[in-house]
Structure formats: C-alpha cells, structure tokens
Structure 1
Amino acid sequence: MFDKGTNPLAAGDILNALEAALYRGRIGRRRFMQLALATGASLSAARAMAQEGGDAAITQLYNAQNLADSYDYIVVGSGSGGATVAGRLGETGASVLVLEAGDTDQIEAVLNPAMWPTNLRGERDWGHTADATDKVNGRQLILPMGKVVGGGSSINVQIWARGHKNDFDMWAAEAGDDAWSYDNVLEIYKRIEDWQGTPDADRRGSGGRVWVEQVQDPNPVAPAMLTACESVGIPAYADMNGVMMEREGGAALANVRIKDGRRVNVPQSYLYPVLKQGNVTLLTGTEAMTLIMEGTTCKGVNFVHDGQMKSARATRVILAAGAINTPKMLMLSGIGPKAELDRIGVEARVDLPGVGQNFQDHVLVAGCIWEYKEALPPRNSLAEATFFWKSDGALDGPDMQPFQIEVPYATEVTGPAYTPPAGAWTLSPGLVRPKSRGRVYLESSDPMAQAKVDAQFLSHPDDLKTVVHAIELCREIGNSDAMKDFVKREVMPGALSPAEMQDFAKNAAGTYFHQSCTCKMGRDEMSVVDGKLSVYGVEGLTIADASIMPRATTGNTMAPTVMIGERAADILLA
C-alpha cells in the first residue's frame, strides 16, 4: 500500500484517522483521496477506500436522520455477538437497526493493539464495579465492558481463544441440543476463520471473514515461557486453538485478531461490509432503555438518541448488550425474577427467576512479577504467551489459564506494597472454571441507573484453593532455569506462608473482563433461553451474547461470543 521511503507506521496511523473521518462524514471523498495519496497510499487503494467509506458514511448519515418506524430486526449492542448477528442478517437484505450506546471505534486507542489499557475506566468503558466483599479483602473489583462500536472486541486484548472441547459438549447437554456440541461448533469456527498459522484442516479454517494470526515477532520472553512450561511438565503446542484444546491443555503463543499491526475488531469483519447498504443502520450514541412489550410479545425497543426518547418496532429483537446490560433490559421490561421486579416496582410480565443469576467471570491475578535483567519492550497487545492446565487431574478440562503480560501488572493493593519497577514482566495466574456464582440486580427502575453486580469472586473455597495453586505454579515457571536470562529478581509475591499466600491472592485478584452466564441457555427453572436462543415465555426475543453461556468457556470469551452470534443468525435465517 505504501511507497518505499515512507514510514509505514506513521503513514498507517494517518490513514486510520482519515478513514475514520471519512466513515463519519467529516471529510468528503475528494479530500480523502488527496490526503490518502499524500501518506503514500497507492491510487487503487485510495480509490477503493474512498468509494467504500464514502458510500457507508452517506448511507449511515441518511439512515440516522430518517429512522424508520419498524425494521425486520433490531440488534441491541454492536459487540462481538451483536456485530456478528447484525452483519449476517444484513447480508440477506433484511432491514436491521443496530443500537450502540458508545461512539466510533475508528480511533487510535482502539486500532493500536498496545493501547488497550487506555480504554479501561474511560469513555469507552461502561465503568461497572463489583460489590465489595470480604472474599477479596473488601475490595471492589472493576468490570470493564466496551461502550464503543465493537464492545469488548474494541477494548480488550484481542485474544482469539475458542474454548475447550468439553465446554461445548456441556452446553449441548444443558440445552438438549446437539447443535451446540463441539463437533458442530468446530464447523462454525472453521467456516468463519481465515487462520494464518500452521495449517490444520481438521481444526482450522482458511479464507473466512475472521482474520486470526499467531502473534508476530514476539518478545523473546514469550517463547522462553513456553520452554519454562515444558520444564515443569506442561507441553508446548504450535496452536492454542488446535488439538491442545481437545486434551488436558498446554502452553502456546497467543492467537490474536491483529492484522498489519492493527486491531481487527468484530465489526470490521461483519458489520462494516454491510454499512454501505441501505438496509442496515448503525446508530451510535444510542442507549437502549426498555423493550416494547405487548403482553408477552416483544415488539421493539425504546431508546435515547441525541437526548430524545425514541422507539422503533421490529419483527424480532436481538439483545446483545452483554452479561450486565442484557439482564438489566430484561428486568426493566418486566422479564425476570418476580420478587426482584416487585422490589423495584416493575410489573412482572414473565416470571423468569434465572435472569441476572449465574454471573461468572474469569479471575486474573495481578500478578507474579519479575524484574528484567535488561528491560525489553512489550510487543503486539502486551500479552503473547499463555497456558491452560488442570489444578486437579480428575477435572474434565483445564481450570487455569495464566497469561504472560510483558509489563508489570499489579492491583491498587499489591502495587504500592511491592512497588514493581517499570522494567518488569508478569505471569498472571488465571482461573477459568470458577465455581463461584454471582448475580446482576437493580436498585431502581430508572433505566439510566447502572445495574449492580454482586460478583461473589472467590466465594467458593475451591476457587481460592485453585488460585493459590496457580500462583505457586506461575512462581515455579518464572523462577525456572528457562527464564533465568530474563530475571534479575522476583518482585512479587515471593515465598509466603499458606495464610500469607491466601491473603496475597485476595489482594491481587482481578478479572479477565469476561462477564458471562447471566441469561443462561438450558432447560431447568433457572434457564433464560432455550437451545434456539429464544427467551422462555416471550415471543419475538432472542439473546446473542455471552450472557447465554451456561458455564463460561475455558479461555478468553470473544471467539465463543462470535460463534454465539453466528448460531443466532443461523437459527433466525433457517
């Protein structure tokens, strides 16, 4: 794309900004062409970008100013599930309205893979915080969720982790629907992927819309960690999503959604290609309030746009607002536990006791830290190597997923206590099969008030036991001979007594930002959706986000949420 002699990184940054301005209608095609060519972009590339971006901008501007009264589908949320299902539905020519509370994703803080931490607790984060609990020493753990086009796929760490075989076989058993089994889910992953790593025809796809690559040119500390894992009996694999996740686990470099040094969020793969079509409207800065209900039938959505309350009707509404805001909308609309609805003064239309219950998130400990002998700069998304392993050999799959983070990663308690130096790296113990269960609840019927989260992190004694086990395992790996070239000293936690290590775990515990499971799929009385993702007792309403997981997947949740969006689209279009 760029002529020799230009600085590709600087030119790419400028072109990103120009493309964003074009999509948002801030500059016209002619001016875009002039400026794009000045960055060194080829004429053919500039023309293609100008045509596509200009068409999309004009179409979206017109659609936003001329909202229809009704659509075939309304999708609430443009995150990993919402963007996927909206894009798939839009390809058919159906009229689709996508409501997104946040703003554009075409900004440096999203597109630059290394800048993801700057999105947390800022304007692109809903700012949720878990209730304080003595199980984490009275701390209130932050629960970042994306409030931007792309949701979590725009603000989190770009890891493509598909989940363990046993996750999906468990889902299929819960739903009583073999379409959710690993063998069937694997076919979806193969269909959508454009895998850039070592070919694996049995497990990986090529030529699909979802670009996935292994981290490129990793920091040497990352492959060293794989060798260190092997030294303690954890096998290393070439692909974190291959045969490793059909077995007991292992160590691998990360699969990421990064292309040419830029983040590739889910809307870029699914939603942007249909924005220039007149049938799809992406309405940003728009917060959904409640569902339009007629009896027990969902007829549309009430929402606030440009400070005004508006509404639109649809043949089908798809909730993809995430595991906190999806149950919030259901409860505000009279769908949820009757006792909870009575408490906040909302008339119960459908008594569904499972709405908001079963909250899960992966625990990530911040962290086990070592000072470099000679500091090395982080690469890619700052996190390039991980491993999955069992804390107990009797388990049916890995329950631990530590991640190596190439900067010092500590909490508001452990940071001041240990004062890690800037030139340090972290091995963060992770718990990905938590037994603790929390809940999402409301304190009032005010749609503008945030939902509350009683997360109950580490409330189950087995979770604390597993986290302590993971800390000790990470210390063994970090202090092994394989890591000695990268270690001047262990910064934290060091050797501690069992009681001290439990206290450290409570002070160091955080989350992976993988909120899920609050509207679970299943057949028992606490289930919210069936195997077709339809809400029990409600006509015209589908859920397509991580809230439908009966149990959180083993690993980062972007990939399985995309798969959920694909399943939702397959079901709706069947």
Structure 2
Amino acid sequence: MLPKLLLSLLPLVVPVLSQAGAQYVDPDNGIPFWGLTEPVHGMTLGWIFPPLDSTGSLANEFIGEIVAPIDTLWAGVSPGGQMLQNLLLVAWPYDGSIVRSARYATDYVQPLAMSGPVLTDLPSTKVPKLRYTGTNSIPVNTFGVPAWVFSSIGVDTPADPQSTFQEHTDFGFFGLDWSQAHASADDYNNWAAGGTGGGTPTTTISTPTTTPTQPPVTATPYDYIVVGAGPGGLITADRLSEAGKSVLLLERGGPSTAQTGGTYGPTWAQGHNLTKFDIPGLFETMFTDSNPFWWCKDVNSFAGCLLGGGTSINGALYWIPPDSDFSPYVGWPTSWGNHGPYTAKVKSRLPSTDHPSTDGKRYLEQVSTVVSQLLNAQGYTQITINDNPDFKDHSYGYSAYDFLNGKRGGPVATYLQTAKIRKNFTLKQYVYVLNVVRNGAQITGVKTNDTSLGPDGVIPLTSKGRVILSAGSFATPRILFRSGIGPSDMINLVQNDATAGPNLPPQNQWINLPVGMNVQDNPSINLVFTHPSVDAYDNWAQVWANPRPADSSQYLKDQSGVLSQASPRMNFWRAYGASDQRTRYLQGTARPGAASVTTVYPYNASQIWTITVYLSTGITSRGRIGIDAALTARALVNPWFTDPVDKQVLIQGINDVLSTVRNVSGLTLITPDNTTTITDYVNNYDPGSLNSNHWVGSCSIGNSSSTAVVDQNTKVFNTNNLFVIDASIIPGMPMGNPHGMLMSAAEQGVAKVLNLTGGP
C-alpha cells in the first residue's frame, strides 16, 4: 500500500464530478477521513482538517492519505482539482519503501518539484507531514472537487523523489464536502503528533462503500466560443458580449497583472499589488527569469500563454496604424481599407503615451539625445509619432506605449474589465483547446482538456453559434490542423498521433487550405554602441532582484520614474525603393543596454546602448509555420531573407544609419566593430537572432481559398461558422510592432462577424 500524506491547503479549480466522497475510518490508525475509494484501481484518498477557526501554521495543513495496491507504479492527488497552479502529491513504491514528493506545474508539462513544502513522517502511522502555504486554498467550509491520478507505467528513476515520469494513464475527479472534514483541535493534534484512534467507523478502507452514481456531465452551449485571451480574443469577446451574445472566452494560461488575479512579482514590490506584468521596467526580465511560466511550452518560439497573451509580456510599443497597414499593397481586401472608425475605438479605450511616468517626466533619455544627433544629420524630422501615424519616412520620436497610470495597460486593463461585468460573458482559464468539433462545414463546438465544461471536454455551440479562434500565429494553425483543416502533410501528422488522431473528422471532410503558409516576421539586426553620456542601467540585469533603491522607491510610491517605462526610448522610420520596384520601410528602436556584445574593442559596459534595425512594410520574404510529430508548433521555413532583395535593402539601411556616427562626438560602434563589413555582419548573423517575434500571415486573410485561409469577413473558407481574429490573419508586415494595428484589426474583424447574417 502507498503511504498516507499530511497535506496543506491549496487552490481549487472546479472540474467535473464523476464520483462523490464520503466519510470512512482508516482501520490502521482510527482516523476518520473524508474521501473516496476509487473502485477501478482500488485507491483510497482521504483528508481530515483541524477546526475551521484554526490559526497560525495549523491553518495551513491537514492530514491526508493515498492508499493504493503495491503494484501501482505511481499515484497522485491534486486536492485543488487540476494539474495547473496546484499542489500535486505523487508517490510510488521502491525497495520496500515509499518515495514521494510535492510538485507544481504552471503549464501542461512535467510538474516540477517544489522547494517550499516539507514532508515529515508521523511515527505511528507512517504518514508524511506536509506544510505548504499557497496564495489560495481549498474551500474548507464548502464543496470542492479533488482529483486523483494513476499510472501503470513506472517513473524514470524510482530511487529519486524528483524523478521524471510519463503522463498518468488514468485520472478522475470526485466531489467532496470539505466543510464536514474537520475534527476537534484535541483529536487533530493527537493524530498530527502520531496518535491513533478517536474515530467512529462509518466504513473502512478494507470494506469501502459503493459511491453514489453521479448524474452525467452537462454542458452549457454558447453563441460564441472565443479561443485565446490575447489582444484579438479579448477585444472580440468584449464586443460580442456588448452586443448581447452569450460568450465563452477560453484561455490556456492563467492570470498576468494583479488586476487579473496575478501574484508573481519581485520581492521588492510585495504588498503593493504589483506583478511582473504590471511593472513596465521589468520587460527585459521576461527573457531572463528562471521561472518563465508565461511562455507557451509547446510552441518553439516566444509566445505568451497567459491573460493578455503577447500584450502582457511585450515591450508595449504602441503604434497607431498608418493607412498603409490596411492597404491592398500588403494584401488586405479592399473592404478593410477604412480602418479609421475601428482605430478610433482602440484609441478611445487605450490612449498612447510617450511619457508614461505618472509625473509626466521622461527618464533615462540620454539614448534619445544621441539618436536625435545621429538622425538629424541624415535629414530626419522629430515628431510625436502617434500624432502623425502616416509620417513614416525620415521621421523619429520618443517611443509610444499603451501603459496606463504607470502600469501595463493593454486589453487586460480595458476590454477584459468591461466584459467581466456582463452576465453573458464567461472566462475560463487553464483550458487547453485541442480542436474544433465539426460535421463537414458546420462547427458544433470545441474539444478541450477540461471535462468539467462538457462530456469528454466538448463545449457545444447554440444552434446558430460560432467559434472564433484567437490563439495566435502558432496556436491557431495547430488547432486548425487538429481539426482537419490545412495542408495534408500537417493533418497526416495529427492522424498519426495516438491521442489527437481519433478526434479528426473523416478524411473526406478534410479541408485543404494554406494554413501556416505565407508567414512573415520582421528581420532584425542589433547594432551596439557606447557613448559617455549614456547610462546603460546595468543592462537591466538588476531590476528584478536588486533595482536601484531610489528608482524602486519612486515607482512604488506613485508609479513614476525609470521603472514606469519599458526599455525602448526612441523609434525611427525610413522608406527605401528597391530593384523590384517595391517600397520597403526600415524601423529602428533604440534603448539603453544591449542584448549581446561582440567586439575586439575594450569598452565601458556602463555606457552601452542598442539600435535594433527592422525591415517592415513591403518585405517579400515569407516562411511557413507548422507542427512536428509531437504536435509542437514551430517555424518549418524561416521567413527572413528568402528574397535576397530584402537583405539588400536592410544592409543599405544599416549603412545609412551608421553614416553619421562620426558626426556625434564620443559615439562608438562596438558591434559590429571595424573587423567586419556590414554586409558580412548581416550575412553571418545568427538566423535565430533575426526573429522579432512579430509573426503574421499563418492564417492569412484574402479573397481566394487557394492563397488565403479566411475570407474578408474572417470566416475560414469552406466552413459555415468558424472564424479567426488574431495576428495570423494579417497578410503582410505592418509598419511597426503589430500590437496597435492588431487591436484595430480585431475591432474591425468582430464588427464584420456581427454584421454577417445567419449568426446567433
């Protein structure tokens, strides 16, 4: 038998009830547990709590047990009911004893060992004692739904409590009235000290009662199911619910900012209701944190799996789209040309600012001064960028953001908040959408990993309902592949997967569309300089654990100062003609610090700063996004420099940027240094470092199913009620970072969906 565990309080996320718990008494120790004997595998799970009014450490623990046949290769419990953001207890037999550990998972990957919980065996019962303090707790005075897991496959290293293991082979949930699972203080303290007895048997684990049969799971149908709570999904769900439709928004991750329930922040900000995602100055630490739970683990590129998606983890550069962003020149249908009313809607919800500190001042602006000297000599004009969105040739200005009141703004601070107050809007987090469920062209619902939302995890639509995919440029294609929509080579990979294959529709219902094709991303090159006036701000390396005291104090006081802004300080654009008669635009972003330095020069690290040079609107290089045999989303063909003209223009642009370096006293280019030419520097640049993470086009909008995935109304070709509204529909690179342009596109896209006949 496996041992009995003394556990703690932990979060509850309600899943499905398949069985009901009751009271029983363990015959070995006489403790009256509340729990369940699971009849298929013969496991018993039980808990007993101290009194409800307990204080101190006693309020954060309980006695619990997992009892299972010795041939069980490993077993586990989640008192909170789900894998994510919950304490997980796992145990297995080895060499005549029991090995066990406490785990925690932030995504659907191997749960990692926790350093906080302490397991201590109680002498008379062999019960390990665990004490764990979490941010949430089991609802000890009401009803809850714990989960159990069972595996017939052994762990990889049985002697090691932190061994890795394969996914469980079976699992289940059961209902439990936690309010009844409390003992007197005297009885609880006796058992916690190793004592026995005191329970009145109602049943025992050797002769368990038959648990009552529960009613079948029912599912609520919705007019609209929106998949993904990034900028596209949040705006879409808000506008749909505003129109009176019943809306379910599904997000595979969890909270981000404090306003959304997030709690992950630096030690120095504790007690101030601020998370990593709130504080603009922590942007650079998104890429260096030792616990980066916000990145999607099944996407082979940086993609945000949390509320807000990319808008909760990016630098928040926010450009009001120029008219060219929605022109046929970049591939938009002519019906999208009048973006003004939709851009105005975004601006009214999210005004931009190029001075985000709450005191109205700009901080750490030495880089801006140096860049202006560099560009003025090249005929550039300084502007307020978002006051002149169409002025993108030889123009520069202070970086603009959608920060609000010195904190991250974006759609989580605006659109999500208005949606949440409507009774016809439902948000579910930690729900992984596997595929849409369809019968030919008709979508009937979505299949998820959450069986509490419907039988076998399937959530249905109302009779005229619609599904809108807003999962992003990588995840939306994967959902389509898993739904039998896309190139046959991708769908065949799904068909060969033992889990995903059975969920595909029949092969005669597969829909051949160019999903994943025509992908673009800005090719980008870093140029690193030093200047004696520049404060590199320790290359942003100290802002998480040990920021400059004056700056952290100022920010905590009123969200002002250096930390109220992300690292970029200046942006500029220039137009270039080329041999193919196309006009391409170059963008520059300047910031203190540097991602990397390669030079033979000695240099002063406290003076380093960077210009990242991008190529944007007008580029012709394209790649492909797909999946591999493990169904991991990845770039199959990189989208940078597949057309050599793009590279020629970028090289010319970099040379032009550098043409006036000598005009600025004290300015030194250290990467590349004078041991290489710009042409060789670009030719030898690490392809992986060209990635700007501005992926667009994988489900491109257009007028023909031979070249596009969605039509001018964002409906997936050859389906009746499946739509896509996210960055994947953008047919060509916008002028700048796509954040603002995407929100305008979402406003226009959801308006077109609502205007279509035949919907709910």
| Alignment TM-score, normalising by the size of structure 1 | 0.75
In the comparison of the two structures, how many residue pairs are matched? 475
Evaluate the alpha carbon distance shift between residue 420 and residue 558 of structure 1 in structure 2; reply closer, same or farther with a 3 A threshold.
Answer: farther
Structure with the larger RCO, 1 or 2 (CA within 8 Å, 6+ apart): 1
Query: Displacement of 1:436 after TM fit?
Result: 1.6
Equivalent pair of 1:334/1:348 in contact (CA under 8 Å): no
Which residue in the other structure is 2:210 paired with? none
| Alignment TM-score, normalising by the size of structure 2 | 0.58
Which residue in the other structure is 1:333 paired with? 483
Equivalent pair of 2:366/2:533 in contact (CA under 8 Å): no
For 2:378 and 2:589, locate their aligned partners in 1 and report how far apart those are by CA, in whole Å.
Answer: 16
Write the deviation string for residues 81-110 of structure 1: whole angstroms up to 9, x where unpaired: 111111111223321111111110124211
Equivalent pair of 1:519/1:548 in contact (CA under 8 Å): yes
User: Secondary structure in 2 aligned to 1:352?
Assistant: coil
Letter in 1 for 2:460: R
Structure 2 counterparts to residues 200-349 of structure 1, below 5 A: 208-216=348-356, 217-218=362-363, 219-238=365-384, 240-243=385-388, 245-246=390-391, 248-305=393-450, 310-314=457-461, 315-342=465-492, 344-345=494-495, 347=507, 349=509
Write the deviation string for residues 179-219 of structure 1: whole angstroms up to 9, x where unpaired: x11xx2122212331xxxxxxxxxxxxxx211321234141
Which residue in the other structure is 1:531 paired with? 712
Evaluate the alpha carbon distance shift between residue 320 and residue 407 of structure 1 in structure 2; reply closer, same or farther with a 3 A threshold.
Answer: same
Write the deviation string for residues 495-524 of structure 1: whole angstroms up to 9, x where unpaired: 333553334544684322111101111123
Evaluate the alpha carbon distance shift between residue 391 and residue 505 of structure 1 in structure 2; reply closer, same or farther with a 3 A threshold.
Answer: farther
Equivalent pair of 1:103/1:284 in contact (CA under 8 Å): yes
Which residue in the other structure is 2:129 paired with? none
Evaluate the alpha carbon distance shift between residue 418 and residue 428 of structure 1 in structure 2; reply closer, same or farther with a 3 A threshold.
Answer: farther
Letter in 1 for 2:412: P
For 1:285 and 1:452, locate their aligned partners in 2 and report how far apart those are by CA, in whole Å.
Answer: 25
Query: Displacement of 1:263 after TM fit?
Result: 0.7
Equivalent pair of 1:85/1:569 in contact (CA under 8 Å): yes
The more displaced of 366-375 and 155-164 is: 366-375
For 1:165 and 1:331, locate their aligned partners in 2 and report how far apart those are by CA, in whole Å.
Answer: 33
Write the deviation string for residues 230-255 of structure 1: whole angstroms up to 9, x where unpaired: 211222212x2343525535111122
Structure 2 counterparts to residues 108-123 of structure 1, below 5 A: 108-120=275-287, 122-123=292-293
Structure 2 counterparts to residues 383-394 of structure 1, below 5 A: 383-392=568-577
Q: Does 1:564 align with 2:731?
A: no
User: Secondary structure in 1 aligned to 2:651?
Assistant: helix
Query: Displacement of 1:568 after TM fit?
Result: 2.1
Which residue in the other structure is 2:589 paired with? 403
Query: Displacement of 1:152 after TM fit?
Result: 0.6
Equivalent pair of 2:601/2:670 in contact (CA under 8 Å): no
User: Secondary structure in 2 aligned to 1:358?
Assistant: coil
Letter in 2 for 1:532: N
Which residue in the other structure is 1:155 paired with? 313
Q: Does 1:87 align with 2:241?
A: no
Query: Displacement of 1:119 after TM fit?
Result: 2.5
For 2:470 and 2:508, locate their aligned partners in 1 and report how far apart those are by CA, in whole Å.
Answer: 22
Equivalent pair of 2:345/2:747 in contact (CA under 8 Å): no
Letter in 1 for 2:250: L
For 1:332 and 1:508, locate their aligned partners in 2 and report how far apart those are by CA, in whole Å.
Answer: 27
Evaluate the alpha carbon distance shift between residue 415 and residue 459 of structure 1 in structure 2; reply closer, same or farther with a 3 A threshold.
Answer: farther
Write the deviation string for residues 135-192 of structure 1: whole angstroms up to 9, x where unpaired: xxxxxxxx311111000100111011233322312269642x43x11xx212221233
Write the deviation string for residues 428-453 of structure 1: whole angstroms up to 9, x where unpaired: 11111432211112223x66x44454
For 2:414 and 2:254, locate their aligned partners in 1 and report how far apart those are by CA, in whole Å.
Answer: 18
Evaluate the alpha carbon distance shift between residue 373 and residue 268 of structure 1 in structure 2; reply closer, same or farther with a 3 A threshold.
Answer: closer
User: Secondary structure in 2 aligned to 1:301?
Assistant: strand
Evaluate the alpha carbon distance shift between residue 442 and residue 522 of structure 1 in structure 2; reply closer, same or farther with a 3 A threshold.
Answer: same
For 2:736 and 2:523, locate their aligned partners in 1 and report how far apart those are by CA, in whole Å.
Answer: 11
Write the deviation string for residues 441-478 of structure 1: whole angstroms up to 9, x where unpaired: 2223x66x44454224223212222332233233335x
For 1:402 and 1:542, locate their aligned partners in 2 and report how far apart those are by CA, in whole Å.
Answer: 34
Equivalent pair of 1:99/1:284 in contact (CA under 8 Å): yes
Write the deviation string for residues 375-409 of structure 1: whole angstroms up to 9, x where unpaired: 25484111021111123378665521110021112
Letter in 2 for 1:126: C
Query: Displacement of 1:339 after TM fit?
Result: 4.3
Query: Displacement of 1:77 after TM fit?
Result: 0.5
- Which has a greater percent of helix? 1
Which residue in the other structure is 1:432 paired with? 616
Evaluate the alpha carbon distance shift between residue 419 and residue 102 of structure 1 in structure 2; reply closer, same or farther with a 3 A threshold.
Answer: farther
User: Secondary structure in 1 aligned to 2:414?
Assistant: helix
Equivalent pair of 2:321/2:735 in contact (CA under 8 Å): yes
For 1:290 and 1:419, locate their aligned partners in 2 and report how far apart those are by CA, in whole Å.
Answer: 53
Seq. identity, %? 21
Equivalent pair of 1:227/1:236 in contact (CA under 8 Å): no
Evaluate the alpha carbon distance shift between residue 450 and residue 340 of structure 1 in structure 2; reply closer, same or farther with a 3 A threshold.
Answer: closer
Q: Which runs of 5+ in 1 are unaligned?
A: 1-20, 25-60, 131-142, 194-207
User: Secondary structure in 2 aligned to 1:331?
Assistant: helix
Query: Displacement of 1:227 after TM fit?
Result: 4.0
Equivalent pair of 1:402/1:470 in contact (CA under 8 Å): no
Equivalent pair of 2:578/2:649 in contact (CA under 8 Å): no
Letter in 1 for 2:281: A
Equivalent pair of 2:623/2:635 in contact (CA under 8 Å): no
Evaluate the alpha carbon distance shift between residue 171 and residue 311 of structure 1 in structure 2; reply closer, same or farther with a 3 A threshold.
Answer: farther
Equivalent pair of 1:338/1:348 in contact (CA under 8 Å): no
Query: Displacement of 1:422 after TM fit?
Result: 4.7
Evaluate the alpha carbon distance shift between residue 127 and residue 476 of structure 1 in structure 2; reply closer, same or farther with a 3 A threshold.
Answer: farther
Structure 2 counterparts to residues 178-193 of structure 1, below 5 A: 178=335, 180-181=336-337, 184-193=338-347
Equivalent pair of 1:383/1:406 in contact (CA under 8 Å): yes
